[in-house]
């Protein structure tokens, strides 16, 4: 049956709601004039059922475990593309030709230095400064060095600058936190290779890039590159809707991602697996805690607002874990615990009935560990991957002719009108 119209009956009156149908058949009920016509608003905590925009960037089918960037499946892109190609696809809307990719990679490579004065920011932080806080702050500071205006050439150059420099800022933040000298970007390395070199090279030794680690990082960056209207992306759109500049909008997205319910989950998963290991591998105990609401404990890396079958990214990362660890010839006891935890949860009514499956964060931390990335940098890796998606979504929002500043309504439940009693009489 066609779903091209909808009626709302409120107070005995009928109201017609316009219907928008997406290219994948998704149905959206238009409520733009709802309050004007009915005096009522919709109420949807966490926007679980509310669409904030129409978007042509990423499509997710949570029931079928489908995820596509601009129509290309994530599995296909992981197989056939490199991260800079996916950055180009998300930001410009199509896969680049060989020449377009060469020019794009050249630009990313030659804009990866940061202004020497920016190093002073790092000096002000204590060694244990949370890397995501450092990343968010310095990302916002880029607008102090690179003028922001509506000139399309400047806007495109700032996109290149941000994509090129955020990995340098991330690596410099790491080096500062361990008291080592900064390692500058190199123009002869790939995006992933250059980041690994800036993270792990030390002036006194030759650093040999492991192609397996380089390719694995590139894969993880692709898997994290966009995910439609998740918390941090919605934040980037919301901040950008006030006409804040790109750097400030991305800084806000980095802050939103840092929460352990979102991008911070990859760190929380490792903490949880270590807790289970140190507790004698008693997985059942932690599963029962996760089912007990009073425990305030959740299985980190499990569950998703959209995926109610499986997160296709988790599947790709899980198989990459097996492959990488065997090629590296390393064992990780936490991987065995993770697999057993997944197996038990997928047989447990509590998780099955709530459709709680491993998400992208469940296995990604184990892969970062295998690559030698320190735990406190896991969410930074997520941010580096998500950056092209944030940028693409920000651009789409800015170019939307119907764009309006984000300003949700509320239902007030506080005190009714009352007079102020003078302090002396209170
Ligand atoms: C990311 O949105 C995106 O796309 C995000 C992301 C991206 O690429 O941008 O995919 C990245 O953020 C992945 C999610 C990483 N976070 C975690 O792994 C943290 C643990 N997961 C949960 O906190 C939770 O599942 C969320 C935050 C992911 C989703 O939260 P929802 O959709 O608001 O779900 P909910 O809190 O309403 O839970 C529904 C039910 C509740 O039980 P009941 O009230 O129905 O009895 O499921 C339970 C929850 O208690 N539940 C869990 C659980 N997740 C949900 N119970 C135990 N362990 C969990 N992990």
Summarised one tens digit per residue, pLDDT across range 136-161 is: 999 999 999 998 888 999 999 999 99
**Which member of 197, 227, 304, 311 is catalytic?**
304
Mean pLDDT of the 34-56 span:
96
Mean residue pLDDT of the chain comes to 96
Mean pLDDT of the 103-129 span:
96
* CA separation for the pair 318, 304 (Å, rounded): 17
CA of 266 to the centre of ligand 1 (A): 13
Written in H, E and C, the secondary structure of the chain is CCCCCEEEEECCEEEEECEEECCCCCEEECCCCHHHHHCCCCCCHHHCCCCCCCCCCEEEECCCCEEEECCEEHHHHHHHCCHHHHHHHHHHCCCCCHHHHHHHHHHHHHCCCCCHHHHHHHHCCCCCCCHHHHHHHHHHHHHHHCCCCCCHHHHHHHHHHHHHHHHHHHHHHHHHHCCCCCCCCCCCCCHHHHHHHHHHCCCCCCCCCCHHHHHHHHHHHHHCCCCCCCHHHHHHHHHHCCCCCHHHHHHHHHHHHCCCCCCCHHHHHHHHHHHHHHCCCCHHHHHHHHHCHHHCCCCCCECCCCCCCCCHHHHHHHHHHHHHHHHHCCCCHHHHHHHHHHHHHCCCHHHHHCCCCECHHHHHHHHHHHCCCCHHHHHHHHHHHHHHHHHHHHHHHHHCCCCCCCCCCCCCCCCCCCCCCCHHHC
193 lies in the same domain as 283 = no
Tell me, what's the pLDDT at 73? 98
* CA separation for the pair 287, 159 (Å, rounded): 44
Asked whether 304 lines ligand 1 (CB < 6 A), one says yes
Least confident of 72-86, 124-138, 325-339, 391-405: 325-339
Tell me, what's the pLDDT at 217? 97
Mean pLDDT of the 4-15 span:
93
**Does position 222 have pLDDT exceeding 90, yes or no?**
yes
Please report the atom of ligand 1 found closest to the CA of residue 354: 47
345 lies in the same domain as 306 = yes
Asked if the structure places residue 122 within a domain, the reply is: yes
* Residue 406 near residue 241 (C-beta atoms within 8 A): yes
* CA separation for the pair 207, 287 (Å, rounded): 42
Asked if the structure places residue 289 within a domain, the reply is: yes
Give the domain CATH number at 350: 1.10.230.10
* CA separation for the pair 178, 214 (Å, rounded): 22
The protein residue whose alpha carbon is closest to atom 43 in ligand 1 is: 354
338 lies in the same domain as 230 = no
**Does position 2 have pLDDT exceeding 80, yes or no?**
no
212 lies in the same domain as 244 = yes
The protein residue whose alpha carbon is closest to atom 52 in ligand 1 is: 298
The whole domain housing 346 covers 265-370
244 lies in the same domain as 314 = no
The count of domains in the chain is 3
Please report the atom of ligand 1 found closest to the CA of residue 301: 18
Please report the atom of ligand 1 found closest to the CA of residue 233: 9
270 lies in the same domain as 238 = no
Pocket test for ligand 1, best of 303, 310, 378, 390 (most atoms within 8 A of CB): 303
Tell me, what's the pLDDT at 150? 85
186 lies in the same domain as 229 = yes
CA of 49 to the centre of ligand 1 (A): 15
Give the domain CATH number at 128: 1.10.580.10
Per residue in 67-95, pLDDT (tens digit) is 999 999 999 999 999 999 999 999 999 99
Mean pLDDT of the 308-321 span:
92
The protein residue whose alpha carbon is closest to atom 55 in ligand 1 is: 303
Asked if the structure places residue 418 within a domain, the reply is: no
Mean pLDDT of the 283-310 span:
94
Task: Specify whether 260 is catalytic.
Answer: no
Q: What is the pTM of this model?
A: 0.96
* CA separation for the pair 334, 321 (Å, rounded): 11
Tell me, what's the pLDDT at 411? 97
129 lies in the same domain as 221 = yes
365 lies in the same domain as 385 = no
The protein residue whose alpha carbon is closest to atom 37 in ligand 1 is: 305
Assign 204 a pLDDT band (cuts: 50, 70, 90): confident
Largest CA distance in the chain: 79
Instruction: Walk across the sheet containing 66-69 and list its strands.
Output: 58-61, 66-69, 72-73
**Which member of 4, 361, 400, 425 is catalytic?**
361
314 lies in the same domain as 249 = no
Asked if the structure places residue 318 within a domain, the reply is: yes
* Residue 391 near residue 159 (C-beta atoms within 8 A): yes
CA of 62 to the centre of ligand 1 (A): 13
The protein residue whose alpha carbon is closest to atom 42 in ligand 1 is: 354
146 lies in the same domain as 232 = yes
Mean pLDDT of the 179-184 span:
96
Asked if the structure places residue 85 within a domain, the reply is: no
Tell me, what's the pLDDT at 302? 95
Tell me, what's the pLDDT at 1? 67
Of 289, 290, 272, 294, whose CA–CA distance to 281 is shortest? 272
Asked if the structure places residue 53 within a domain, the reply is: no
Residue 72 CB contacts under 8 Å (≥ 6 apart), including other chains: 81, 89, 95
The protein residue whose alpha carbon is closest to atom 44 in ligand 1 is: 293
Tell me, what's the pLDDT at 329? 87
Asked whether 227 lines ligand 1 (CB < 6 A), one says yes
Asked if the structure places residue 95 within a domain, the reply is: no
* Residue 174 near residue 374 (C-beta atoms within 8 A): yes
Mean pLDDT of the 230-241 span:
98
**Does position 395 have pLDDT exceeding 80, yes or no?**
yes
Of 276, 380, 366, 267, whose CA–CA distance to 314 is shortest? 366
**Hunting for tokens 């996760």 — which residue is that?**
290
Q: Are strands 27-29 and 19-21 parallel, antiparallel or unpaired?
A: antiparallel
Asked whether 87 lines ligand 1 (CB < 6 A), one says no
Asked whether 255 lines ligand 1 (CB < 6 A), one says no
**Does position 170 have pLDDT exceeding 90, yes or no?**
yes
Asked whether 359 lines ligand 1 (CB < 6 A), one says yes
Task: Specify whether 218 is catalytic.
Answer: no
Asked if the structure places residue 357 within a domain, the reply is: yes
270 lies in the same domain as 233 = no
**Does position 52 have pLDDT exceeding 70, yes or no?**
yes
């Amino acid at each position: 049956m066609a779903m091209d119209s909808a009626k709302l009956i409120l107070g005995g009156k009928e109201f017609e709601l316009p219907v928008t149908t997406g290219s994948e058949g998704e149905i959206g009920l238009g409520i733009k004039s709802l309050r004007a016509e009915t005096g009522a608003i919709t109420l949807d905590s966490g926007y679980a059922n509310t669409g904030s925009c129409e978007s042509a960037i990423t499509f997710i089918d949570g029931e079928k475990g489908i995820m596509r960037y601009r129509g290309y499946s994530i599995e296909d892109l992981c197989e056939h593309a490199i991260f800079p190609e996916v950055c180009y696809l998300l930001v410009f809307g199509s896969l680049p030709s060989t020449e377009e990719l060469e020019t794009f990679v050249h630009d990313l490579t030659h804009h990866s230095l940061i202004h020497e004065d920016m190093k002073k920011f790092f000096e002000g932080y204590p060694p244990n400064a949370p890397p995501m806080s450092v990343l968010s702050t310095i990302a916002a500071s880029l607008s102090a060095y690179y003028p922001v205006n509506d000139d399309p050439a400047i806007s495109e150059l700032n996109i290149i600058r941000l994509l090129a420099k955020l990995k340098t800022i991330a690596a410099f933040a790491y080096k500062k936190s361990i008291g080592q000298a900064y390692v500058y970007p190199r123009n002869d390395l790939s995006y992933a290779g250059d980041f690994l070199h800036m993270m792990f090279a030390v002036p006194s030794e030759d650093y040999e890039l492991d192609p397996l680690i380089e390719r694995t990082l590139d894969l993880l960056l692709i898997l994290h590159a966009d995910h439609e209207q998740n918390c941090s992306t919605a934040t980037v759109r919301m901040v950008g809707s006030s006409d804040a500049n790109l750097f400030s909008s991305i800084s806000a997205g980095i802050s939103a991602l840092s929460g352990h319910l979102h991008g911070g989950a990859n760190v929380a998963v490792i903490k949880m697996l270590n807790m289970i290991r140190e507790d004698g591998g008693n997985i059942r105990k932690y599963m029962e805690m996760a089912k007990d609401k009073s425990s305030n404990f959740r299985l980190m890396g499990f569950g998703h607002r959209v995926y109610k079958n499986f997160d296709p990214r988790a599947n790709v990362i899980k198989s990459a874990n097996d492959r990488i660890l065997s090629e590296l010839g390393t064992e990780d006891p936490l991987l065995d615990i993770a697999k057993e935890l997944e197996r038990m949860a997928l047989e447990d009514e509590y998780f099955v009935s709530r459709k709680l499956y491993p998400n992208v964060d469940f296995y990604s931390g184990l892969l970062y560990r295998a690559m030698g990335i320190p735990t406190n940098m896991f969410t930074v890796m997520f941010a580096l991957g998500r950056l092209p998606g944030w940028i693409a979504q920000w651009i789409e929002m800015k170019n939307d002719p119907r764009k309006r500043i984000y300003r949700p309504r509320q239902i007030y439940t506080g005190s009714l009108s009352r007079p102020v009693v003078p302090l002396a009489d209170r």
